[in-house]
């Protein structure tokens, strides 16, 4: 009997021990439909109660009791991480480090980009479809049996949080790294009562409609994950945020330490696997969290026998820091579709002439980090000799969500480099705090966008989809008024005083968008080469930006432009929304 067969038999036994005997629908899409029914149709920031007499965390406790999980959560040896930016990267670094130390790891993050299973990782791999369905329907059916008027089915994120605890308990992980969904104090993950250690990543202005419009208010929510006398770490913060964090730590007698950014010299010549200087902040926090976890669980001395000097990092830490991967953050993907359409005479080593730089930045601070990373990434190509250009070619996005990197040298003639912005953000965000720092940071680094394309996301916010889900048939008939508003703001940033984007003007933009909400017209390919000096804002003619009717058509248009002009290399920065980044990744995989 093969080892694979034995492993599957053991896995099946583990799953069956943890689930009730319910008839299970076999279709993965049926599970997605069930999940979609849990999406609450409330405006973001609506703080009205759902669930009758129970508060959110009280409901979470009730759901966990129904599933028999309440008393088992503490056994997960949890690392709990909040923050505005960097919490996902910190969790990813932490998981990779402890996995390299030999522990069975569980990682719960959000949101997902392509498939909901990305949120649940066991030993670095997203949970298999079969296991997901077993655990999903077991939780679903047990909760469905017990719902009442005062305890309805949980909203989507609460259900996914409960499901994460179910999966990690049944899979018997040694450590669970749990990323907060939104805020901290009232977040569904804060049902955790006895974590091993807590962390707060960098804080900034985000989700202000829910967390408040001051940094102090946001910090108060984030520090809400602190538990009495449980160690916690944070990173250097602005004083307004740090004062609140210190006050909360003092109230709860929390041993709080500030983790310094990781010293590059400690990497021993290796590079962090996640790009951007800001990742050294996240890596420093992850190292502190993992050291504390190892010490508090009694594993530090077992593993390293005190032979590691305080200034050094163990080899397992170095492996984790240099191999951790997270999709959609500072990710470079070479479009292999455009490459496959080339003639057979083209260089077999060529990476292709359409490269996507993806970063789901959606706050002012993260947008600045994104701009610095993009400028550095394309700047490296600009400085290389035309006949020998080195790029990261992410040839394949693996089934486990990790990225397979392959660095290669491209033998090619001179290429005309075009930097393109592909942008969208949710309408609850203020694009006037996102686009200006993007432009100014790129410009100061010598990077200027030839064109900006504004496109609606393909994802809908009222349906959970999988990587295999059918693209909506009405995708080209959606309202584009928000995209026209983004374009107008972009033109104001680029052209300066001549344009205004005050609230009084939005009505006009909405009217214009309403008239064009069924637009299917794409710019001619020549638009990509047209000089921005042809812009005539007074006549609403823009040569440096365009509103595109849909994302699939935009990807096809870019591919056609590159295919038509062999002398062109197009570098596309995709940012503003993780939904947009996920949609692009989904299309590039097809």
Q: Please state the residue numbers annotated as binding site for ATP.
A: 329, 359
**172/76 Cα distance (integer angstroms):** 8
Conformation bin of residue 172: beta by default, left when phi > 0, alpha when psi is -120 to 50: left
Binding-site residue ranges for Mg(2+): 110, 179, 207
**229/379 Cα distance (integer angstroms):** 47
Q: Which segments of 157-247 are extended strands (E)?
A: 175-179, 197-200, 232-234
The bridge status of strand 125-126 relative to strand 175-179 is unpaired
Containing H/E element for 221? helix 215-222
**398/333 Cα distance (integer angstroms):** 12
Backbone angles phi, psi at 406, to 5 degrees: -145, 110
- Which tokens hold the place of 1? 């009997």
Cα separation values, 336 from 187, 284, 333, 413, 462, Å: 40, 35, 9, 19, 31
Residue 382, SS3 per DSSP: helix
CB atoms within 10 A of CB 396: 14
Maximum C-alpha span of the chain: 75
Cα separation values, 172 from 16, 69, 124, 399, Å: 14, 13, 15, 23
Binding-site residue ranges: 110, 179, 207, 329, 359
Contact 590, 340 (CB under 8 A): no
Containing H/E element for 163? helix 156-170
Exposed, middle or buried, 470 (CB in 10 Å: 0-12/13-18/19+)? exposed
CB atoms within 10 A of CB 552: 18
Instruction: List the Cα angle 385/390/394 in 5-degree steps.
Output: 155
Q: Which one-letter DSSP state was computed for residue 117?
A: G
**7/13 Cα distance (integer angstroms):** 10
Sheet holding 120-122, edge to edge: 125-126, 120-122, 105-108, 175-179, 78-82, 197-200, 232-234, 256-258
**452/487 Cα distance (integer angstroms):** 8
């Amino acid at each position: 009997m093969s080892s694979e067969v034995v492993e599957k038999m053991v896995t099946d036994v583990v799953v069956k021990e943890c689930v009730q005997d319910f008839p299970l629908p076999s279709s993965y899409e049926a599970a997605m439909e069930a999940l979609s029914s849990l999406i609450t149709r409330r405006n973001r920031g609506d703080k009205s109660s759902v669930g009758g007499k129970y508060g959110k965390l009280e409901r979470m406790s009730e759901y966990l009791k129904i599933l028999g999980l309440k008393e088992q959560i503490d056994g997960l040896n949890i690392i709990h991480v909040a923050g505005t930016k960097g919490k996902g990267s910190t969790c990813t670094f932490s998981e990779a480090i402890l996995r390299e130390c030999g522990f069975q790891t569980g990682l719960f993050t959000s949101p997902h980009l392509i498939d909901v299973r990305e949120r649940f990782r066991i030993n670095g791999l997203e949970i298999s479809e079969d296991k997901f369905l077993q655990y999903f329907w077991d939780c679903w059916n047990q909760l469905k049996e017990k719902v009442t008027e005062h305890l309805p089915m949980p909203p989507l994120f609460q259900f996914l949080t409960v499901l994460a605890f179910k999966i990690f308990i049944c899979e018997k992980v040694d450590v669970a790294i749990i990323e907060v969904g939104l805020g901290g104090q009232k977040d569904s993950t804060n049902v955790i009562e006895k974590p091993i250690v807590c962390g707060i990543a960098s804080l900034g202005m985000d989700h202000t409609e829910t967390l408040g419009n001051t940094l102090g208010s946001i910090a108060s929510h984030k520090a809400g994950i602190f538990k009495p006398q449980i160690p916690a770490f944070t990173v250097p913060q602005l004083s307004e945020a740090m004062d609140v964090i210190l006050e909360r730590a003092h109230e709860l007698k929390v041993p709080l330490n500030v983790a310094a950014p990781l010293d590059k010299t400690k990497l021993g010549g290796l590079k962090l696997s996640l790009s951007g200087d800001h990742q050294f902040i996240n890596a420093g926090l992850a190292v502190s969290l993992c050291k504390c976890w190892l010490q508090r669980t009694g594993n530090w001395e077992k593993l390293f026998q005190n032979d590691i000097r305080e200034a050094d990092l163990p080899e397992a830490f170095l492996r984790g820091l240099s191999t951790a991967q997270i999709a959609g953050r500072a990710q470079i993907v070479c479009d292999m579709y455009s490459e496959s359409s080339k003639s057979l005479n083209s260089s077999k080593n060529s990476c292709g002439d359409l490269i996507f730089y993806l970063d789901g930045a959606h706050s002012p601070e993260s947008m600045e980090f994104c701009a610095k990373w993009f400028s550095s990434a394309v700047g490296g190509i600009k400085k290389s000799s035309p006949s020998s250009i080195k790029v990261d070619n992410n040839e394949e996005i693996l089934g486990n969500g990790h990225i397979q990197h392959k660095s290669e040298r491209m033998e090619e003639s001179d290429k005309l480099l075009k930097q393109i912005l592909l942008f969208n953000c949710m309408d609850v965000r203020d694009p006037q705090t996102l686009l200006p720092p993007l432009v100014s940071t790129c410009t100061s680094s010598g990077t200027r966008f030839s064109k900006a394309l504004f496109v609606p996301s393909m994802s809908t916010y009222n349906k959970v989809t999988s990587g295999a889900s059918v693209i909506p048939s009405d995708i080209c008939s959606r309202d584009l008024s928000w995209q026209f508003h983004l374009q107008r703001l972009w033109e104001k940033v680029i052209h300066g005083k001549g344009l205004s984007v005050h609230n009084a003007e939005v009505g006009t933009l909405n009217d214009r968008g309403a008239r064009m909400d069924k637009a299917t017209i794409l710019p001619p390919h020549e638009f990509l080469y047209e000089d921005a000096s042809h812009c005539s804002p007074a006549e609403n003619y823009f040569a440096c930006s365009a509103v595109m009717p849909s994302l699939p058509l935009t990807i096809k248009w870019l591919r056609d432009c590159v295919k038509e002009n062999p002398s062109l290399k197009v570098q596309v920065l995709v940012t503003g929304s993780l939904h947009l980044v996920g949609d692009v990744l989904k299309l590039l995989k097809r």
